[in-house]
Structure 1
C-alpha cells in the first residue's frame, strides 16, 4: 500500500493532445504529489516499434528500451507507468525491468482491445482496465494482476473558460464520426442551434478540436450528447461523460446500467431511450434552462467529489503493495 510519493517514469502518447485521457492521467499523478519523469512518445516516435501496425489501443506496440535506458537509469523510478496505446516492452526486457521497478500497464480502450491486450497483460506487475466486462474476462484467464480503474478527470477541467462566439451553441456533439451517430447529428443540425466537432464526419462540421480549442468548444455549449457505444459495438461508460460533467455541461446519454455507478439519471445527467426521446428532451431543456443548469451543476459536483484521476490513482495504488525490487538500478546490466 502506498504511504509516500513515488518516483514514476511515465510513458505515453498524447494522441488526443493535452486534453486527452493519457495526458489527464499524467496530471493526476502530479496532483497526487508523485515525482514524474515524462516520456512523451508523441514527440519521440522513434522510440516506438510497431511491427504489427496496431493502433487505437490495440497491441502489442513495443517501447524500445535501448532508446530510453539512460534517462530511466538516471531517474531510478519506483514505478514504470505505461499508459495505454497497446504499449509494452518485449518480454525479455519486461522480465529484466521488473527486477528493478514495479511495472504498471494501463488499458483504456477495453472491451474493444481485449482480444489483443489479453495476450500480454499478464506480463505487467500491475495491469488496469477501464471495462468491468473485460475485468471479468481477464480474471477468467487467471490474470490476478488486473484491476478495474474507471475513467476520471484532472483538475484542469474544472477551471471555467469564457464562451467563444465561434463555437456558441445550444447543443453539441464533441466526438469523432461513427455511422450510428449520423442520423442524430443531422437532426440536431436541422432542429437546433447545434455544433458537431470531430474527425471523419461526412457532413459539414467544425472539425476536431484539441487542447485549448477543446475547452472553448465545451464551454461554449449548454448540452452535450454522449454516445456510450464503442467502435466494436459494446456499451460502456466513456471518458467523455466525465469531461462534460467536469465543465458543468448538461449531459444527455442513453440509459444503461453501468452509468448508474457514476451518476444519477435525471438528477446529475439526463437519460434518453431513443432518438425521438433525445430530441424531445433537448427541446425541453433548452426551454427550461434553470432546470438544465441545476442538473448540470449537480453532475459537476459529483464529478469533482468522486471522479477525478487523483482519486482513481490513489485508489489504485492503495489496492496493491509495491514490490521491493530484487536489484537496485545501479546494478542493471
Structure 2
C-alpha cells in the first residue's frame, strides 16, 4: 500500500437520516482528511442490496451484490473499502478474496443494540469499529479481536452558525423520536417551558422529523437541547446527538452516567440530571441564568471542536490500525 497519507477509499453508505445523518457526517470527515473517495450510496441504488433475513435498524447482514459493483471497484483500485453501518457487507467468500488486495473495514454505529447480529460476521473484516464501550467488551468476550472503539463525532458543518428561524425558535428543544421512557418527561417540559418537539410518533403535537438544513435551524434556534441516553433496546449510551447538539453551541442536558465523562465534564461543559424533577429544576435555573448557560455551552463547543470531530476520529483510527 502507498505511504501517501491520502487514501483511495471505496465508501458504501446508506443515508436514512439524510445529509445530517451519521453516515453522511463520516463521509464528510473523510473528505476533510483529504482522501479520494468513491461513494456508493445504497439508498439511491437499492438494486445493489440483498437482504435475505429482512434485517433493519442497523442489523445485518445486508449483502451488497458483488456482481453489480465489481467493475467499479476494479476500475477505482481502492486502498480501503469501508462499509459504513446499516449491516452492510459482501458475502463471506467475496470478503476473503478482497482482503488479499484491499483493506476491508466496517463501521458499526448502532451498538450495543445490533451486537447480536453484527457479531455473527464482524470477524470477517480486517478491521471493525463499534460506537459502544459496552459492545466492545461483548465483542472481546466472543473472541472477536479486530474490533476497535470509535465513538461518535461530528463534521465541520455543525459549527457553522445559522440565524434564528421564528418557526423553530424556543427556549428548549427535544430533537428525537418518541419512546415510552421519554413521553411523560417531554410532556412536562412542554407544560413548564417554551419547548418544541421534533421527531416521529409523539402522542402530542410535534414538528415532525428534521433533517438537513431544517435540523440546523431547529438546533440553532433553541437555547437548550435535551438528550435522552437510552437506546431503543434500553441501553444507556453516548449518542451522536450529544456531539451534534454541543457543536452548535447550545446548552445540552443529559442524564448522569459514567461513560459520558470520557467526553465531557458535567456542569462545566454539559449539564447532567438525575431524574425528571432534577431536569425541570435545572432547565428553569439556566433559562433564568443565561450568562452561566452560555459559558458552559461555549466550553462544550470548544472541546467538541478540539476532540470530537470525525476528522480527528478517523485520523486516529487509520493511525491506530496502520492503514497509512
Do both share a fold (TM > 0.5)? yes
Aligned to 1:221: 222
> What is the CA distance between 1:182 and its match in structure 2?
0.2
Counterpart CA distance in 2 for 1:302 and 1:151 is 14
Counterpart CA distance in 2 for 1:156 and 1:315 is 20
Aligned to 2:38: 37
TM-score by length of 1: 0.95
Aligned to 2:60: 59
Counterpart CA distance in 2 for 1:321 and 1:255 is 35
Aligned to 1:249: 250
> What is the CA distance between 1:318 and its match in structure 2?
0.6
Aligned to 2:118: 117
> What is the CA distance between 1:3 and its match in structure 2?
5.6
Aligned to 1:162: 163
Counterpart CA distance in 1 for 2:73 and 2:163 is 41
1:224-247, CA deviations, whole angstroms, 9 ceiling, x for partnerless residues? 000110111111100000000100
SS at match of 1:71: helix
Counterpart CA distance in 2 for 1:298 and 1:147 is 28
TM-score by length of 2: 0.98
Counterpart CA distance in 1 for 2:231 and 2:323 is 33
In the TM superposition, 1:235-246 aligns within 5 A as 235-246=236-247
SS at match of 2:222: coil
Counterpart CA distance in 2 for 1:153 and 1:142 is 31
Does residue 189 of structure 1 match 2:190? yes
Counterpart CA distance in 1 for 2:97 and 2:279 is 53
Higher mean Cα deviation, 133-142 or 239-248? 133-142
Does residue 76 of structure 1 match 2:94? no
Counterpart CA distance in 2 for 1:18 and 1:146 is 27
Does residue 314 of structure 1 match 2:312? no
Aligned to 2:278: 277
Aligned to 1:180: 181
Structural RMSD (CA): 1.2
> What is the CA distance between 1:45 and its match in structure 2?
1.0
SS at match of 1:310: helix
Query: Structure 1 unaligned runs (5+)?
Result: 324-333
Aligned to 2:143: 142
Counterpart CA distance in 1 for 2:8 and 2:311 is 16
Higher mean Cα deviation, 140-149 or 297-306? 140-149
Counterpart CA distance in 1 for 2:116 and 2:143 is 15
Aligned to 1:126: 127
Aligned to 1:18: 19
SS at match of 1:222: strand
Counterpart CA distance in 1 for 2:318 and 2:4 is 9
Counterpart CA distance in 1 for 2:163 and 2:43 is 29
Counterpart CA distance in 2 for 1:221 and 1:214 is 11
SS at match of 2:29: helix
Counterpart CA distance in 2 for 1:64 and 1:281 is 52
Task: Count the aligned residue pairs.
Answer: 323
SS at match of 1:319: helix
Q: Which runs of 4+ in 1 moved over 4 A?
A: none
Counterpart CA distance in 2 for 1:187 and 1:255 is 20
Query: Structure 2 unaligned runs (5+)?
Result: none
> What is the CA distance between 1:322 and its match in structure 2?
3.3
Counterpart CA distance in 2 for 1:87 and 1:214 is 26
Counterpart CA distance in 1 for 2:164 and 2:82 is 36
Counterpart CA distance in 1 for 2:218 and 2:226 is 13
